[in-house]
Amino acid sequence: MMKKLIFLLVVFLLFSFSTTALASTQKLLGIDRYETSAQIALNGWNRSMFAILVPGDNFPDAISAAPLAKYYSAPILLTKKDYIPTDILNAIKQLEITDMIIVGGTGVITTSVESELISLGIRTSRIDGRDRYETSVNIAKHFKISNKNDISEIAIVTGEDFADALSIAPIAANKHMPILLVQHNKIPDDVKEFLDTCKPTKTYVVGAGSSLDKSLLDELPNVEQINGMDKYQRNLAIIDQFKSELALDSIYLTTGEDYADGLSGAALASIRYNPIVLVGENAKAPKDYLDNNSITNYNLVVLGGRVNNMELISSPTIDFEEKKISDVAKINFNDITKIVFYDGRGLNKPLIIEDEQDIKEFIDYLDGYVVKKISDPNIIGWIHKAVFYDENNVRIMDVTFVNPIKINEQYYDVVKGDLDTNKIDAFLKSVEPAWRNSR
């Protein structure tokens, strides 16, 4: 068992809905939203001619982009205002992207980003507007022109928050319908003009009486309402409205408190026809919805690291078989070409290990572990986390040295193995003498 572990500084509880024994939980996350966006893209695409580039810290221009991404079969990537983060650049190169559609004006993504893309030989175009409302209309116009078909259905959501747009994003993408933003109690002129021209046969209005004023309904054509008193209720109402058109073999989970991870995930969910479920402080409402609709055999894909502090809901069919770590993570240790260590004490910067012999030495430690999955962990603490990558720099496993140990976001009792924090520190100090130990 693990010994001499320092008390837990921050606990991220695993969020798990009830599944069958064949179902799985996958977590797509990085150190920040940009690495998360890159991980999502690399999980869904091997190559892509197009990508959609959106601001990583400004939701209004970004949240209408999912239907556009679906049309181009493209991932949605996040960027900083003035430069492209390294993880996103690496994903762009790995996916061999040749055409980038930038969504948002130069106030949220500057021309220096365009110049950076052009220097890589990537063709760029930009869709923007005077404000978020015109931007959503211009995305719809671009979609209409590119699609060369009349738009028969429209989604109308508030432009003052991201949650409703994010909830309907994978559905709108699969139905080839634009997402238009409106103010809480006013339909902008740009949106009115587009609707007059488009003449949709159905307008799905999300949140009348909550996120939108009911008075707007009289100004919109062929309305079908999707309502709920808060963003989480509306999220489930949207899924319920379109459940017959969704593939419910996988459920994408993301925080309801930020847009970034969910927006990148919306492009991935849409190509697989899966819904996005927003989660907040507890899992009861979405869990009850899934159970009440007999949706029980599904995989979970958790987007980002903010799906946390949740009520722990474990499967009654959880697999308690004793396994080696390589079997639990479903990887071949020989595929590991890089390990990044993080120090939970905050004493050291992340340590990157790429030397083949050093990697083999640490893998030999891990290979001695036998673990057994547990459903209700009594967490003592953590001091180190190791993230493992393959030769394509794709994250293939992470292990947090906690008691009980945490592997790819699931907790396990250590049945066999005695690698403790002192041994980890000694190993890391042998690689990097400046690494400080726990004393």
Q: So where are the chain's domains?
A: 25-303, 322-431
pLDDT for position 11 = 27
Question: Looking at residues 228-242, what average pLDDT do you find?
Answer: 95
Q: What is the pLDDT of residue 378?
A: 64
pLDDT of residue 323: 81
- 89 is written with which tokens? 């650049």
Give the pLDDT confidence score for residue 10 in this predicted structure.
25
What is the structure's pLDDT at 312? 35
**This prediction's pTM:** 0.68
Phi, psi at 116, each rounded to 5°:
-65, -40
Domain 322-431 has CATH 3.30.1490: yes
- Alpha carbon distance, N-terminus to C-terminus of the chain: 20
pLDDT in tens, 196-218: 998 999 999 999 999 999 999 99
Tell me which residue of 29, 45, 36, 26 sits closest to 301, measured CA to CA.
26
**Predicted confidence (pLDDT) per residue in 381-404, tens digit:** 667 889 999 888 888 888 888 778
Helix (H) or strand (E) holding 242: helix 231-242
Provide DSSP, 273-329.
T--EEEE-S-SHHHHHHHHHTT--S-EEEEESS---S------TT----EEEHHHHH
**How high is the pLDDT of residue 294?**
83
* Dihedral class, residue 401 (left if φ above 0, else alpha if ψ from -120 to 50, else beta): beta
How high does pLDDT run on average in the chain? Answer: 85
Q: Which helix (H) or strand (E) holds 28?
A: strand 25-28
> Mean per-residue pLDDT for 272-282?
86
| DSSP annotation of 245 | G
pLDDT band at 55 (very low <50, low <70, confident <90, very high): very high
Whether 320 shows a pLDDT value over 80: the answer reads: no
pLDDT tens per residue across span 79-127: 999 999 999 999 999 999 999 999 999 999 999 999 999 999 999 999 9
